[in-house]
Structures are given as structure tokens and as C-alpha cells.
Amino acid sequence: MCGIVGYVGDRSAQGVVIDGLRRLEYRGYDSAGIALIADGRSGARGDQQGKLAVDKRAGKLANLEKAIADTPLPASTTGIGHTRWATHGGPTDGNAHPHVGRTGRVAVVHNGIIENFAELRASLEADGHEFASQTDTEVAAHLLEREVVGGADLTIAMQKVCSVLEGAFTFVAIDAEDPSRVVAARRNSPLVVGLGEGESFLGSDVAAFIEHTREALELDQDQVVTITREGATVTNFDGTPAEGRRFHVDWDLAAAEKDGHDWFMRKEILEQPRAVADSLLGRRTPSGSLHLDEMRLDDDELREVTKIIIIAAGTSFYAGMVAKYAIEHWCRISVEVELASEFRYRDPILDNSTLVVAISQSGETADTLQAIRHARSQRSKVLAICNTNGSTIPRESDAVIYTHAGPEIGVASTKGYVTQLVACYLLALYLAQVKGTMYGDEIDGVMTQLEAMPAAVSKVLETAPQVYDLAREYADRRAFLFLGRHAGYPVALEGALKLKELAYLHAEGFAAGELKHGPIALVEEGLPIWCIVPPRGRDFLHDKMRSGIMEVRARGARTIALVEEGDDSVDSVSDTIIRLPKVPVLLQPLVAVVPLQLFACQLATELGYDVDQPRNLAKSVTVE
């Protein structure tokens, strides 16, 4: 997720901003930039007092630092900076933030997605505005500048502009003609204020400024904050006064980067409601139809598709298994799901009526990359589902759905996985729209159910204390089983993979119907078995799952059942019940996986392992 820094005070803004960006590097990024208001004391760029000086570079912060060292920025005590994780537009110098308005008077940095940017950009273009980037952010720079040129101060301009924007965003902006203030706003995106002596700071999180001050101010949603040397003033978007919540930061830097958690993985699990919401943003056009991020395939080509092959590795493969249930059910197209590492070695049957869907969080997995190259050489079209804008797999694909989870730092995929699930559902609905296998109102209905999922994921996160207790209770076990059916089966596989990766335990996932075909022989007294019970909507599945639970319990297993609210039918055959919110059967993986992630994270913590960097594993597997 992007890193944001803002500063006003008496120090060199360049130093504070670059240091802050360095502290936020852990968030992951693909370009970096800075904007300062020249104070007229010096400058090698011919900048004058009251003018903006901006530099921004693709790649690492070191690229920006080198550019500044080669051509120094003017002296300044007011500035903003940004490390960008590309969403709209690839990771280039031009798309890097800050962006400036039409006359270069206002500069802005942004985290999030402006859903209605296309309409706003079209109307600005109709008024003669020209845009230098492919970003949604530049629209905000033009809108803010139009307001200040029209006489509003930057705070009022921010209130007005935010009121017309849809989506999730944090903005931090400066006006060259008012170096006394930096103005920021937030809606469903992180922002925190640092309050020093005669200086104030803004950051995506406190890591940006804790070396300068530990006094901080937290904002609510839909608020604007103006920082000056004297402090901070908060308003709501409608201009009414508001108050932030003061707090003292007592974390060290390492904890601050993790929002006070012990592991990035735990932080990322807890970020999932936000990640799911972000992955749904901006998917519907004003006319209500669905659209994908990058589409180099036309609808006629998609209508010709008769078979889909999903290729992926590890956790992404399990997301692909869930996609099969959704696509086949909603689109009536047959779907194969294949491990990327096996795909091209079996001489797969491919032609131009086959759509290959490659799922990869990193976008760099060598097995998946080689598989899509093979598919394209056989004239199949490739659609990528990916979290990393500008990575190789989306670049080499014909269409892309970005998952918008933000960078995932823990090696084990969590928010990457749930947002892959969302992207798979979106793809299924998109194909249903193009092929006409669902009515528009049915698609709307599922979109509404999906839009309720961030709240459902938040609800299931409330089970964390119960799950952590279980992890402590079972910390001495060396083996676990996971059972699921239908869309719960891949969740069982994912739950087992998480335990293997993090706690180095023998863990297996099975389709519950397969028990009697072999795995039941593994069941012995005290073996913990996680059972993912399908929602009641599929009663025949539900009842079969209940029989499976009874079978293993009769053989001495300790059963831990994930069951939807209001379903007490397995209570008598379960040692532990964890309640899931009521959701449709196809969407259940989004909530059912969460306790399994929490369990693996906690069990590995109990065993003293490094949860973020499990042994022998790498985040991006770039060799076959």
C-alpha cells in the first residue's frame, strides 16, 4: 500500500519527507516522489519562492535520492512525499506521485482508488484540462487546483473536492501560494497526524514520523485535517468542526510498521475487510455493468470461449479451485484448474476458444509465467488475476484483473488470497454478463452480496480470541486434518497449507466425501480435525458433511467445526464450534478461511517460529 508523508515546520522538508518515505518502505512500492514549496533561500533548479518543486521516479527510493543529489531541490520547510504501489497506470515516472494541477500550483499525493475518476476526468478534459498521467490521482490535483485558483483556501478546496469523489482515498496536498499549511483527507484509507513542537507531520502510519514525535492524532472517516507549525485542525467533509483522537505512540519502529502487531501476517489478516472492499471498488460503470482493469480482449472473443483453464501455484491455485465452482455455476463454461508447474508438461489441449486464467499474487511466479507463455504460443488468450501492477504475468497477458490488496509482506498469502477470490467472483460475473448466462439484476444481486463481504469478514475476525485459545490448546499436536465440501474443499486445502508453511506440521486437507476412500484410516484418538460446514442453503451437502463429522468423531477425533450462525445441527458432534456469518455457499470461502489463517499464525507463534519468514520459503518464486 502506498506510503504518504507530509511536513510543515522549521526543518528541511526534504530531509523529513525522504526519511519518512524510507520508514514506510516496508509497505512495498514501485515508485517514489516528493513535492516541496520553495522558500526562496536556495535552489539549483531555478525554482523561485512560492513555486513547487517536484521530483518523482519509478523504482526504489534510491532512484529518487540520486535524482535529487544530481539536481538538488530548493530549500523548503513544507513538503509532501509518496511511495506508490501502482493501481491505475503502470509504475512509471509519469504515473508516480505527486501530481500537480493545470498550472502547477497544487501538488497532491494519494493512496486508494477514486471510483468515479473516469467521469471526472472526461468532464475536466471537456473544459480543456490536459493530463500527464494515467492515474486517477491527477484528477484530484486538477480539481483541487481549480478550487484554489477560484479563491478557496486549500482546506475548503479539499472539503469540496472530497465531497464529489467516490471510492477510498487518503490525500495530502500543498498549495505553492500557502506554505504555512499541508492539507489532508481520508475516507477508508489510512492517515495519521504527528504533532511536534513547532512542526507537524502526516503519515500513512506513525512509522513515518516517530523519530520526530510520539504525539499523534487519529482521524475518523470523511475528515479533512490541516496541519501548520502550530498544530492540526480537523473538519468533516461538509466543513463542520471535528476533533481527532490524541494518542501517545509507545511502539518501537518495528512494531509501528506492523501497526503494533507482532507479525505482518497478523496485520494482513486483520486488513482483509479493507482489502476485500478495495478489490471491489470501481468495478461497475455508471450504467451498472462490470468492467475489468485492463482488457485487451473484446467481448466477441470472450463469447467464443468454450473452455477455461485456470493455472496457478500454492494458495493461488486454491483460489482457482473456488473460481471453478463460481464460473461453472454462473457461466456454464467448463473450467479446469491446473497446477502451473504441471500444465505445459502434459501437452494440454489449447486453442483460441480456450481462455487461460493465470492467478498470481506476485505476478512473477516462474511456473505460472512459463505456463501462460505456453498457452499464448498455442493461440489461447490469457487473463491474469494479479496483485502486482506492472509485474511480468499481467504484462504478458491479454487482460488483467488487479486484486488491489496492497503489498503483502508476510510470506504466507492471506489478504492476497481473499482478494484473489473476489477477483475470481468478478471474473465469473463478467463472463456471465458477456455471455448472457445471468440477467443484469442477478449479477447486481451477487455484487450486493459481495459488497456485504467486508462486514462479514470483520465479523469473523471477532472469533480471533477463541481461535487463539484453540491454538494454545493444540500447540503440542503434530498432525491436523481439514475437511470441506464443494467450495469448502479448497478452503480445507488452504487451511492445511497454512499450517504446513508456518508451523511445520503435518496437515492435510480432504474433500469430506473422500474420507471413507482412504483418509479415515489416519484418524486416531485426539487427532484435531477442522470441519468446514457448508451453509444450510445446500442441505444435501450440509447433511453429508455432518455425517462425515460423526464418522471421524466416532473414531476419537477432536472436531473443530466452522458453522454458520443459527445452525446448531453439528453442535452435538463437535468439540469446538466457531461461528461464521451467514453468507451464500459460493462466497463462504471468504469467511471460512479467516479462522484457519488466524489459527496457523497463532500456532506458529506459540511454537516460536518466524511467521513472516517461514523456513525454506520465498515470497516470490522466480525459479521453476
Residues contributing to the site for ligand F6R (CB under 6 A): 313-316, 360-362, 365, 368, 412-413, 497, 501, 621
Q: Which is nearer to ligand F6R, 148 or 382 (CB)?
A: 382
The cell for 79 is 513538503
Q: Which of 60, 307, 582, 619 is catalytic?
A: 619
Concerning whether 160 is annotated as a catalytic residue, the answer is no
Quick check: is 2 catalytic?
A: yes
Please say which residue, 165 or 385, places its beta carbon nearer to ligand F6R.
385
CB atoms near residue 155 (< 10 Å)? 21
Task: Give one DSSP letter per residue of 116-162, joined into a string.
Answer: THHHHHHHHHHTT---SSS-SHHHHHHHHHHHHHTT--HHHHHHHHH
Q: Which three cell numbers stand for residue 546?
A: 455432518
> Could you give phi then psi for residue 168, rounded to 5 degrees?
-125, 135
Query: Which of 144/313 has CB closer to ligand F6R?
Result: 313
In whole angstroms, give the CA distance from residue 57 to residue 96. 6
Which residue minimizes CB distance to ligand F6R?
A: 314
d(CA 562, CA 549): 11
Write down the least CB distance from residue 407 to ligand F6R, Å. 12
Compute and round to an integer the Cα radius of gyration of the chain: 25
Residue 198 — φ and ψ, nearest 5°?
70, 15
User: What CA–CA distance (Å, rounded) separates 624 from 615?
Assistant: 19
What is the DSSP secondary structure assignment for residue 559, as one 8-state letter? E
Residue (80 or 383) nearer to ligand F6R, CB: 383
Amino acid at 361: Q
What span, in angstroms and rounded, lies between the C-alpha atoms of 125 and 103?
15
Question: Between 316 and 433, whose beta carbon lies closer to ligand F6R?
Answer: 316
Q: Which amino acid is at 50?
A: G
**312 vs 487, which CB is nearer to ligand F6R?**
312
Task: Please state the closest distance from residue 262 (CB atom) to ligand F6R, in A.
Answer: 18
Shortest approach of ligand F6R to residue 365 CB, angstroms?
A: 3
**CA dihedral angle for residue 407, residue 408, residue 413, residue 414, rounded to 10 degrees:** -90
CB of 14 to ligand F6R, least distance (A): 36
**Closest CB 532 distance from ligand F6R, rounded Å:** 18
Which residue's CB is nearer to ligand F6R, number 495 or number 535?
Answer: 495
Choice among 2, 386, 531, 601 that is catalytic: 2
Q: What residue spans of 2-136 are helical by DSSP H?
A: 13-23, 61-70, 117-126
Smallest distance from the beta carbon of 466 to ligand F6R, in angstroms?
Answer: 23
- What would the DSSP string read from start to end of 359-382? EESSS--HHHHHHHHHHHHTT-EE
The values of phi and psi at residue 555, to 5°, are -100, 15
Find the shortest distance in angstroms from Cβ 362 to ligand F6R.
3
Catalytic residues, by residue number, are 2, 619
